[in-house]
Amino acid sequence: MISLGDIQAAAARIAPYVRRTPMIDVKAVSETVTGARLSLKLENLQATGSFKARGATNKLLSLPKEAVANGIVTASGGNHGLAVARAARSAGVAATVYVTESSTEEKRQKLRRWGATVEVCGKIWNEANVAALAQAEATGAAYFHPFADPMVVAGQGTTALELLEDMPDLDVVLVAIGGGGLISGMAVALKALKPSVRIIGIEPEGSPTLKASLDAGRVVRLDSVTSKVATMSCGETDVGVFDLIRDHVDEVVLVSDAQMEAAAGWLWFEFGIAADLSGAAAIAALRSGVVTLQEGTVAGGLVCGAGLDGVGL
């Protein structure tokens, strides 16, 4: 689907339009989550509040202006929709974002503030996506897939380039998984530049899309999705994304919604970081013991999305 060269080209393309997000060391905390030397990349401070701005911007910049003349449409748990709404505004065209019933009102309000038309449709992303595709077909609007588009995946992969520049001694990276676009793009870059890096993906127990597919050796459609984390709930991934993850990701683990809620509260208490539940997934995996790292290991995690999920917990 993509190569390191595609990711490096994306980094150059989007550099004027996105932020290089900072790292923060996890130290001087009241509750230790790991014996490893852990740092977090704060993609919650990215434009629109998540890494998704990288992929949507790369997709937009890869297209001629006439391709988006009839607007842009997508389906999203919230974060990709925000990135698409921003891209549409920069292009001066309309955006329609189909979100799931489980998407938060906070995300919906932000979408409207970015000027998007918000349509609530379906319990999981796959159902909302059917409606988005139908509108794109009917209106001629450009459709921006949140994880199966090579330009989007390459854009998300630029996160890994920055991470390795800031942490050249990186041993392990923990990445939240929804449809798989972020971890697949990052994994291609990480394994090309530092093959020894161990890549651990994190999914909700109620939406084990990639883990179920990896266990089966092929892409499978989940019988049900029970996680309330809209940004990580996907009933079926893409074959190309699956292939990248199968070939580059070392392990996929599961955490509960409650563990992510507690982790979001921990981030707010310890750092004043307002993360959505996907943004708390790396900390949830460590606090719950699903992932244990040896002392001295150099680990990186992503706070991949902003939200108010942990505020007040």
Together in a domain, 230 and 207: yes
* Whether the predicted pLDDT of 59 surpasses 70: yes
Examine residue 167 and state whether it is found in any structural domain, yes or no. yes
**Tokens representing 204?**
């909700």
* Residues 169 and 261 both lie in one domain: yes
Residue 220 is assigned to a structural domain of this protein: yes
Does residue 179 sit in the same domain as residue 266?
yes
Closest-CA residue to 57 (of 84, 26, 36): 84
Same structural domain, 178 and 290: yes
Together in a domain, 154 and 201? yes
Query: Cα dist. 246→173, 189, 239, 240, 281 in Å?
Result: 16, 15, 10, 10, 20
Query: Which of 143, 166, 187 is the endpoint of a domain?
Result: 143
218 CB-contact burial (10 Å; exposed 0-12 / middle 13-18 / buried 19+): exposed
Whether residue 308 is contained in a domain is answered as: no
Strand partners, 198: 172
What CA–CA distance (Å, rounded) separates 81 from 114? 10
Query: Do the bridges between strand 23-25 and strand 37-42 make them parallel or antiparallel, or are there none, so unpaired?
Result: antiparallel
Which distant-in-sequence residues (6+ apart) come within 8 Å of 303 by Cβ? 40, 41, 42, 43, 44, 267, 273, 275, 279, 280, 282
Task: Kindly provide the residue ranges of all beta strands, DSSP E only, lying in 177-284, ordered along the sequence.
Answer: 198-204, 251-255
- How far apart are alpha carbons 221 and 18 in whole angstroms? 34
Q: What is residue 298's predicted lDDT score, i.e. its pLDDT? A: 98
Q: Are strands 117-120 and 95-99 parallel, antiparallel or unpaired?
A: parallel
Q: Is 57 in contact with 69 (CB distance < 8 Å)?
A: no
Give the pLDDT score at 310. Answer: 86
Residues 294 and 158 in one domain: yes
Element (H, E) at 142: strand 142-143
Relative orientation angle of helices 181-193 and 4-14, to the nearest 10 degrees:
110
Q: What is the pTM of this model?
A: 0.96
Predicted confidence (pLDDT) at residue 136 exceeds the cutoff of 90 = yes
Rounded-to-5 percentages of helix, strand, coil across the chain: 45, 15, 35
Residues 64 and 21 in one domain: no
| 310 belongs to a structural domain | no
* 289 and 174 part of one domain: yes
Q: What is the pLDDT of residue 312?
A: 74
pLDDT digits over 219-250, tens only?
A: 999 999 999 999 999 999 999 999 999 999 99
68 and 99, same domain (yes or no): yes
The answer to whether 284 and 40 are in contact (CB under 8 A) is: no
pLDDT tens per residue across span 197-223: 999 999 999 999 999 999 999 999 999
Q: What percent of the chain has pLDDT over 70?
A: 100
Q: Is 161 a member of any domain?
A: yes
Q: How large is the average pLDDT for residues 258-271?
A: 97
Mean pLDDT calculated for residue range 49-77: 97
Render pLDDT for 175-192 as a digit per residue (tens, 0 to 9).
999 999 999 999 999 999
Q: The domain that contains 26 carries what CATH number?
A: 3.40.50.1100
Q: Does residue 37 form part of some domain?
A: yes
Q: For residue 304, what pLDDT band results from cuts at 50, 70 and 90?
A: very high
Model confidence at 88: pLDDT above 80: yes
259 in any annotated domain: yes
Q: Which two tokens stand for residue 130?
A: 């059917």
Looking up tokens 């990248």 gives: 244
Q: How many domains does the chain have?
A: 2
Give the pLDDT of residue 313: 64
Cα-Cα-Cα-Cα dihedral sign, residues 53, 158, 74, 104 = negative
For residue 23, how far is the Cα from the chain centroid?
17
Question: Do residue 131 and residue 185 come from a single domain?
Answer: no
Domain, as residue range, for 192: 4-50+149-303
Residue 72 β-bridge partners: 95, 142
Question: In the listed set 121, 143, 165, which residue is the last one of a domain according to the structure?
Answer: 143
Task: Taking residues 279-303, report their average pLDDT.
Answer: 98
Domain end among 95, 117, 143: 143
Q: Is there a single domain that holds both residue 172 and residue 228?
A: yes
Please tell me whether residues 163 and 280 are part of one structural domain. Answer: yes
Number of alpha carbons in the 13 Å side-chain half-sphere of residue 238: 20
